[in-house]
Amino acid sequence: MSLSVEDRYDLITRNLVAVSDGEKLRSILKERELKIYWGLAVAEKLDLSYFVAVSKIADFLRAGANVTVLLADLHTFLDNRKSSWDALPLRCDYYESAIKVMCKSIGINTDGLRFVRGTDFQLSREYTLDAYKLSSLVSTEDARLGAEEVVAQVEHPLLSALLYPSLQALDEEHLKVDVHFGTVKQKKIFEFAEKYLPVLGYEKRIHLTSPSVLDLSGGKVTLPEDERKVDILESMATLKNKMKKAFCEKGNVENNGLLSLLKHVIFPLLMKADEKFVITRSKNHGGDIVFERYDVIEDSFGKKDLHPGDLKVGVETYINKLLEPIRKEFEEPNLRQIVEKAFPVAAARKKGGSTTAVPNEEATPSRLDMRIGKIVEVSKHPDADGLYVEKIDVGEGSLRTIVSGLVNYVPIEEMQDALVLVLCNLKPAKLRGIESKGMLLCANLAPKEIEIVCPPGGTPAGERVYVEGYEEGTPDDVLNPKKKVWEKLQVDLTTNEDCVCQWQGKKLFTKSGGLLTCKSMKNAPVK
């Protein structure tokens, strides 16, 4: 059944904060199919907020529009070089794959979706001439104002920041579209295009503006950059950790990233007409809470009837529901390799004739220097009753001293000559006067339940331990404690139902000996 003009108009404009020319939009819908484009820089990994645009793509396609996704590789390079030139094709591969998977996860057929890279047309003679023409007409003040919300603001701005608004305006003409779709952060770019495209003799385009989603800081607290957003591949354990830290002040509905996600992502995508939002609680804590509409949730939270802890539990549950099909898709080796190539963990650089690992901000297990160790000597710490001092062979030609708090959990006779799993690249720390150069990794269910991780029998001391799928890459020389790399990775390091050690479901192993296990602890954190 074909949709009426008004039905298509309603689909295209719903859940938006602004439509620049509704009458022009209607007139085009009466005559032919609408042409829409959405452009995005290929700078960072995709997070949940991109589902706002993906849900609108679904609306556009259902309304019969032709939709182009512009992977703005050149713009990304010009924006304070948010990506190296060589990395741009890899980032585009990741963005195209990830957006297709996101669309698939919510039931969008992407056959009618066209992906274009900026460098496919922005280096042409016609585009370049237009860029020069526009540069002779645009004031530096207008260029600066146009770029204010979308280009990185630095102390000493680059010339490329002034080019950015002109080039984005020209994209509307050279992609031959009717509509430019973006977030409220694009507002000044839209105004710039509406002012200057007609000066070149080009038609003013329609602009559709979607809301922005608050991050988990709510704009009120300081969180590290990677803890403010929820990656579309976020593991359940890491998500839980981020939910705990998310700003969620009682009664504060204005600065609440969780409510923002509920309003703009979860309800538009997951909540069907007959479906209710359920926060699961035990009977001892009052039982489940059920909501039928978003505005009721916001009202309840604003009146302090809904507790922040309950809101976090509910949002976490539905985020996991949204992300689970995406996680499963990216378990495919080819998709996983696309992510790893686009955002490599570390690069090798020559320094004084030797190769050194250059840590990247991305925390992945190939950065960990985990090795099989053999305890050669063990004794109690002279100044601490609960500590052992071990001399461990980790394949370095000399023994490494490690201090561990296992006296009350593992008998000393079981420690002597035992094969153990050692994390070797922690920053050395003094424990009651003795410097410890590493950590023995153990399964730990509760303060009084600890088991040493057991390497396969016969594995030589010093052999490296890997996580499946992360065999490539060089470990950091020393994990930077300020970056909390170990802490970020450790939350996903556990045993499974078979007592096998794993990271995000991928098993730990040695290339010669097999899997790393513990004796009896199932689903226990490893730390």
Q: Is the distance from CB of 61 to CB of 112 less than 8 angstroms? A: yes
Burial status of residue 165 (CB atoms within 10 A of its CB: 0-12, 13-18, 19 or more): buried
For residue 386, the 8-state DSSP code is: T
**Is the pLDDT at 318 greater than 70, yes or no?**
yes
For position 219, what pLDDT does the model report?
Answer: 78
Cα angle value 517/520/526 (rounded, 5°)? 55
Angle CA 145–149–154, to nearest 5? 85
Whole-number Å distance between alpha carbons of 322 and 405: 40
Q: Is the pLDDT of residue 81 over 70?
A: no
Q: How high is the mean pLDDT of the chain?
A: 88
Report pLDDT digits (tens) over 341-389. 888 764 333 334 433 344 445 678 889 999 999 999 999 999 999 999 9
* Whether 154 contacts 80, CB under 8 Å: yes
Per-residue pLDDT reduced to its tens digit, 4-40? 999 999 999 999 999 999 999 999 999 999 999 999 9
pTM for the full predicted model: 0.67
At 155 the pLDDT is 59
Residues 222-242, mean pLDDT to the nearest whole number: 85
Query: Which has the higher per-residue pLDDT, 332 or 221?
Result: 332
- Taking the C-alpha atoms of residue 74 and residue 346, their distance in angstroms, rounded to an integer, is 24
Place of tokens 């600065």: 255
Residue-level pLDDT at 355: 39
Distance CA 497, CA 343 (A): 32
CA 155 – CA 150 distance, rounded (Å)? 16
Structure tokens, 448: 């009084």
The answer to whether 465 and 509 are in contact (CB under 8 A) is yes
Model confidence at 109, pLDDT cuts 50, 70, 90, reads confident
Segment holding 400, helix H or strand E: strand 400-404
